[in-house]
Amino acid sequence: MKTFTVEEISQIVGGMLTKAADAKISQIAPPLLADENTLALALGEEEIANLAKSQAKAALVPLGVQIDGLTTIEVERPRLAMMKLLNLFYVAPEVNKGIHPTATVHETAKLGENVQIGPNVVVSRNAVIGDNTKILANSFIGGGVKIGKNCFFHAGVNIGDRVQVGNDVILHHGVSLGADGFSFVTENPDNIEQARKEGAIKEENIQQVIFKIPSIGAVVIGNNVEIGANTTIDRGTIENTVIGDNTKIDDLVMIGHNCKIGKGCLIVSQVGIAGSCVIGDRVVIAGQAGLADHINIGSDTIITAKAGVTKSFPEKSIVVGIPAVPRKEFIKQLKTMKDAQEIFAKFRKYEPMLNAFEEAHKED
């Protein structure tokens, strides 16, 4: 078990130490779950209040918070300090050294130094895996795949042919990179084409045959990207689907074929991005938002949770609602609805008087 003094932890997080007692810290926890060997994480007002009920001798607190009789480490950015502490106490998943005997590595594959391959992993023809990359059990690496250095793939990752993965990439359980895009065509205009062109569905194509459009592009993942469990990113139809450097993608995200995602983006769980979208740099897309195909989202835009985005937005937009509109317009719509409710309430109040007036003046 790792153990640290409060002085050591204060130096690690760059905090200001106010020492009331000696403490040997072997774990971190919220105040109510902390004991005397635990550093209590009191990042918000409720947790700070809970310190009075805690058994902890020491706590990490925001700058300016001091508790009598308690050793405190004050930090300007508590979540940043928490990240450093979690890395300090984090225990990485166990990986076997070298190549597990049950793994299948094609004779044409090229493995760098200190590559670790887990049980039942398949590495296909002409795949290239960089130094210090670790691939856990039951993963599949397709033909011609290029994987950079210092990557970590959790169990059950599936990577299709010709996919390129940069350095320092983390793929969580069940990630799928490089499946075929959802791309089809019919011999005659189908219902979707009619609706887009005419605004109505006029023809009945009962015998319509749907033909699959093959995907011959690939997926290119930049450096320092992290992709959450069971997220899928489809290969491009002709050109590549691209994920920029430093982008972080949550669990259960779907990114369609031909999409271009910029650098430093945050994409939260259950987001769906349809094919051929272009997303700028540092864009945040909150949970369960959906983006229609062939739209552009400018850099530094925030798309809020459950937004239904059906059109393009310029950079630095804040996008809200279904269908999604700029935040200021959304607030205006809410105000209009509130005003309409008040007007309707007044109408109901005076409706009997109006009816009586109309009744009295029928003959006029």
Active-site pick, 106, 257, 294, 361: 257
Establish whether 257 is a catalytic residue: yes
SS (H, E, C) the chain: CCCEEHHHHHHHHCCEEECCCCCEECEEECHHHCCCCEEEECCCHHHHHHHHHCCCCEEEEECCCCCCCCEEEEECCHHHHHHHHHHHHCCCCCCCCCECCCCEECCCCEECCCCEECCCCEECCCCEECCCCEECCCCEECCCCEECCCCEECCCCEECCCCEECCCCEECCCCEEEECCCCEEECCCCHHHHHHHHCCCCCCCCCCCEEECCCCCCEEECCCCEECCCCEEECCCCCCEEECCCCEECCCCEECCCCEECCCCEECCCCEECCCCEECCCCEECCCCEECCCCEECCCCEECCCCEECCCECCCCEEECCCCEEHHHHHHHHHHHHHHHHHHHHHHHHHHHHHHHHHHCCCC
Report the catalytic residues: 257
